[in-house]
Structures are given as C-alpha cells and as structure tokens.
Amino acid sequence: MTLKLAIFYVVAAFTLWAAAVVVMGKNIVRAAVALIFSFCGMAALYVLLDAEFLAAVQVLIYVGGITILLLFAIMLTSRIAAKAARVVNDQVVLSAIVAVGLAVGLIYASTSGFATTSGPPRLRETAPFLGWALLTKYALPFEVVSIMLLAALVGAIVLARKE
C-alpha cells in the first residue's frame, strides 16, 4: 500500500463519516458543521486526483459560501438551533434496499473489470479545460442552471417577504 492510497482511505473514511453525521444527525447545527467537514474532505479528494482548481472552487464556493449561508439561515430562524430535528423516515426499508442494490452494483462494476482504466486521468490543466468546456460544449446547460438559480432566488424573496 502506497502512502497516497493510505491517505485516500483516511480522507474517504473521514468524508463518509461527516456525510453520515449530516444525514443522520438530530441537531441541525451539528449537521451543518459536519457538512463543512464533508465538503473539506471532498476538496482533499480533489487534491489527491491532481485537480487543485476544483479543490479550490470546492472550498471557496461550498465551504465558504453555501455552508456559511446555511448556518446563517439556521441561526436567524427563530429558535431552530436549540431544537433537535425530528428524524422520521417512513421509507426506511425502500431506501435501504436501494442503497444495498446500488452498493452491490458499484462493487460488481469495480471488481469485474466492467470499466477498465489505468487509473484516474491526470488533470494538470484543469482551469483552461473547464473554461473551454463551459464556454463551448456546456454553454447551454450552464446558462439554464443560472436561470434556474435566479428563479429560485426570486421565489425565495417572494416567499420570505411579509405582506
């Protein structure tokens, strides 16, 4: 086992642990803090894949922006931080069956040689490639997502205003 593989396993276990705390946590503030750790773990995994630009974007946008905005929303909502979230799932059996089936499918695909590769691709020139892809091949989906985010923002303003 190489050092890079050992670091990958440690970071992956940390990220999965943080994601499990987000999903199964009863305190919403602790779940939001665990979400920060989960995003940081994903950024570390991007660094291990030699995608430093994506790691920086992950930290700046998700950790620095979205999660902090989520924490502010939790803190500004009236007394939600002190309450424990009611965690009730009526579809536990169905979701467990889907999760086990997905895990079996992923394990089968990774061990049977279904997708044979020589490893992850080297992403040395990530920023120029992403810029070219966003402005040529993926220009329309990029604009559609921006319009959807604008519509969500206008909807949130309409719902939040007092009449």
- The neighbour count for residue 158, using CB atoms within 10 Å, is 8
The CATH number given to 3-90 is 1.20.120.1200
Which range among 34-43, 54-63, 147-156 shows the weakest confidence by mean pLDDT? Answer: 147-156
Q: What is the spatial distance between Cα 69 and Cα 84, in angstroms, rounded to a whole number?
A: 20
Burial class for 3, CB neighbours closer than 10 Å (0-12, 13-18, 19+): exposed
75 pLDDT tier (thresholds 50, 70, 90) = confident
Domain extent listing, the chain: 3-90, 125-163
Handedness of CA 45, 47, 48, 51 (dihedral sign): positive
What does the alpha-carbon distance between residue 158 and residue 163 come to, in Å, rounded to a whole number? 10
pTM, whole model, 2 decimals? 0.63
Share of the chain above pLDDT 90, in %: 20
Q: pLDDT by residue (tens digit) across 115-163? A: 566 665 565 566 777 778 878 888 888 888 889 888 887 877 777 776 6
Instruction: Tell me the average pLDDT of the chain.
Output: 81
Output the pLDDT for position 124. 59
Lowest mean pLDDT among 3-17, 70-84, 95-109: 70-84
DSSP symbols for the chain: --HHHHHHHHHHHHHHHHHHHHHH-SBHHHHHHHHHHHHHHHHHHHHHTT-HHHHHHIIIIIIIIIHHHHHHHHHHSTTTTTSBP----TTHHHHHHHHHHHHHHHHHHHHTTSS--SSSPP-TTHHHHHHHHHHTTTHHHHHHHHHHHHHHHHHHHHHHS--
Q: Exposure pattern of 129-156 as b/e (b: 16+ CB <10 Å)?
A: ebeeeeeeeeeeeeeeeeeeeeeeeeee
